[in-house]
Amino acid sequence: MDDVGRRQYSIILVTCFLFVNTLSNVYGGITSTFVRSEFPATDIPLDHEVFAVPPGYNAPQQVHITQGDYDGKAVIISWITPDEPGSSEVQYGKSNKNYEFTALGTAPTKYTFYQYKSGYIHHCLLSNLEYYYKIGSGDVAREFWFETPPELNPDTPYVFGIIGDLGQTYNSLSTLEHYMESKAKAVLFLGDLSYADRYASSYEYDQIGLRWDTWGRFVEPSTAYQPWIWNTGNHEVDFLPQLGEMTTFKNYLNRYTTPYKACNSSDPLWYSIRRASAHIIVLSSYSPYVKYTPQYIWLKQELKNVDREKTPWLIVLMHIPFYNSNSAHFMEGEGMRSTFESWFVDYKVDVVFAGHVHAYERSNRISNIKFNVSNGYPYPVPDESAPLYITVGDGGNQEGLAGPFLDPQPEYSAFREMSYGHSTLEIFNRTHALYHWNRNDNGKKLPTDAFVLHNQYWASKQMRKEKKHYLRSVAAGLGVY
């Protein structure tokens, strides 16, 4: 067994028989030696079956669903009809083939991007959740289903998948297939969806729109059946003045919707949802965030809205990581870190997931919030109230792996590996969750970084209680009581 293998084995033993208390005792600056023999980092050819267009004239394609409200009682269903607007209706019901209800979507929209013309894009909100749904009519109608999430409750078990920087290569396909083997019920997506904008530098300009379409069909086997909680990255910005395209996020915003109004956000690019026992905050790395901007004002309020007694798990998603020890994108997150990090510590955020860097990395619990330009405190220090920062930018896109890692490994970095994969967060109850990062091990899925995550809110409450208890017994021993 190699080092990583041995470590992996011992971690599984530890997590099975005694729950790991503090991660920092178990992990200390591991740089995995695993070397990925990669599939070529090129996009899957257009005529491959993963991009197959559903048969029949105007058949609905690129079906995807996302949470439609704040608390998970609604779903937004989106799809594209290629030839004509077609029906905007979704038929749905409790059982397959028996669709008792109908919901009407928004009037289909289309847009152009350089010389590309999109199909007709439909979005339909179902606020009365049922399992089965059908879109399109006649022989090109297509049927899908999804699971209604459990009611908000602090002890509801729930499994999230975490995927970032996916793209549409054979590596992306292996990440998607591995993810779909997991028990996860919803994806927390970390930005950089299709990488279609890569075609802006190869003079294949109309492929930008086409590759957004192929990506929509590529992920449909998952996105039609469970919500993907969307977030954007630099590859969604699509600011291409050389093509006359100056409206940012145009491809993304036409195709993907988020329930941002339900949480009083003013923009679909940042928002939050609550699902099962988790409060999930999505931040936009490529929108203004400094003091007095809408995102700053919204986040400040939204953190106050978090009720840890109801949703104990507080998770933040963003594209650019705050803590990264890869030479790729090094320090790009410093602006947002200096603005928001102290809030994350104050509110005891459990985990911050980011993408952007095409590798895997997990931090220790550290913070760097004392620095005030002149006081000489520029370093991250261990901080029990700080979140874990985990970078899962390793979906497997066209740009390939990022590296090299900085050497020596900085103290803030607990584990890092230059390969592809995805994560799962299996929440058991208000206090415990099991986290896995699953490596794409040359075609096989291999859980590689695994640990029990203790909820930050409940852990600190427990600690306060124990301290009080201890002080009381000391006091009692001294006869003061």
Ligand X SMILES: *[C@@H]1O[C@H](CO)[C@@H](O)[C@H](O)[C@H]1NC(C)=O
Binding site for ligand X (CB under 6 A): 70, 263-264, 305, 372, 374-375, 428-432
Q: Which does 263 bind (CB under 5 to 8 A by kind): ligand X, Fe ion, none?
A: ligand X
By the rule CB under 5 A, 233 interacts with Fe ion: yes
Q: Which does 430 bind (CB under 5 to 8 A by kind): Fe ion, ligand X, none?
A: ligand X
DSSP secondary-structure letter at 38? Answer: P
Describe the crossing of helices 334-346 and 294-305 by its angle, rounded to 10 degrees: 20
Q: Identify the active-site residue in 329, 356, 436, 454.
A: 329
Nearer Cβ to ligand X, position 160 or 179?
A: 160
Phi, psi of 375 (to 5 degrees): -95, 0
Answer yes or no: are the C-beta atoms of 353 and 390 closer than 8 Å: yes
Contacting residues for 397 by C-beta, under 8 A, at least 6 apart: 41, 165, 166, 167, 168, 169, 171, 172, 192, 195, 358
Q: Cβ of 155: how many Cβ atoms within 10 Å? A: 12
For the bound state, the minimum distance from the C-beta of residue 262 to ligand X, rounded and expressed in Å, comes to 6
The upper half-sphere exposure of residue 452, i.e. CA atoms within 13 Å in the direction of its Cβ, equals 20
Task: Give the H or E element holding residue 272.
Answer: strand 271-275
Answer yes or no: are the C-beta atoms of 330 and 374 closer than 8 Å: no
Question: Any idea of the CA torsion for 194, 200, 206, 211, to the nearest 10 degrees?
Answer: -10
Nearer Cβ to Fe ion, position 214 or 234?
A: 234
By the rule CB under 5 A, 356 interacts with Fe ion: yes
Closest CA to 280 of 349, 345, 337, 346: 349
Task: Give the H or E element holding residue 176.
Answer: helix 170-180
Q: Which does 429 bind (CB under 5 to 8 A by kind): Fe ion, ligand X, none?
A: ligand X
Nearer Cβ to Fe ion, position 86 or 164?
A: 164
By the rule CB under 5 A, 358 interacts with Fe ion: no
Nearer Cβ to ligand X, position 266 or 305?
A: 305
Q: Which does 356 bind (CB under 5 to 8 A by kind): ligand X, Fe ion, none?
A: Fe ion
Measure Cα distances from 270 to 60, 196, 336, 351 in Å.
28, 22, 14, 17
For the bound state, the minimum distance from the C-beta of residue 298 to ligand X, rounded and expressed in Å, comes to 9
Contacting residues for 255 by C-beta, under 8 A, at least 6 apart: 62, 78, 80, 121, 212, 216
Quick one: which segment of 109-117, 189-197, 304-312, 445-453 binds Fe ion (CB under 5 A)? 189-197
Nearer Cβ to Fe ion, position 191 or 312?
A: 191
For the bound state, the minimum distance from the C-beta of residue 429 to ligand X, rounded and expressed in Å, comes to 4
Active site residue 329: yes
Nearer Cβ to Fe ion, position 226 or 324?
A: 324
Q: Which does 182 bind (CB under 5 to 8 A by kind): Fe ion, ligand X, none?
A: none
Q: Which does 305 bind (CB under 5 to 8 A by kind): ligand X, Fe ion, none?
A: ligand X
Q: Binding Fe ion by CB under 5 A: which of 171, 234, 455, 456?
A: 234
How many residues bind Fe ion, per CB under 5 A?
Answer: 4
Positions annotated as catalytic residues are 329
Q: Which residues bind Fe ion (CB under 5 A)?
A: 192, 233-234, 356
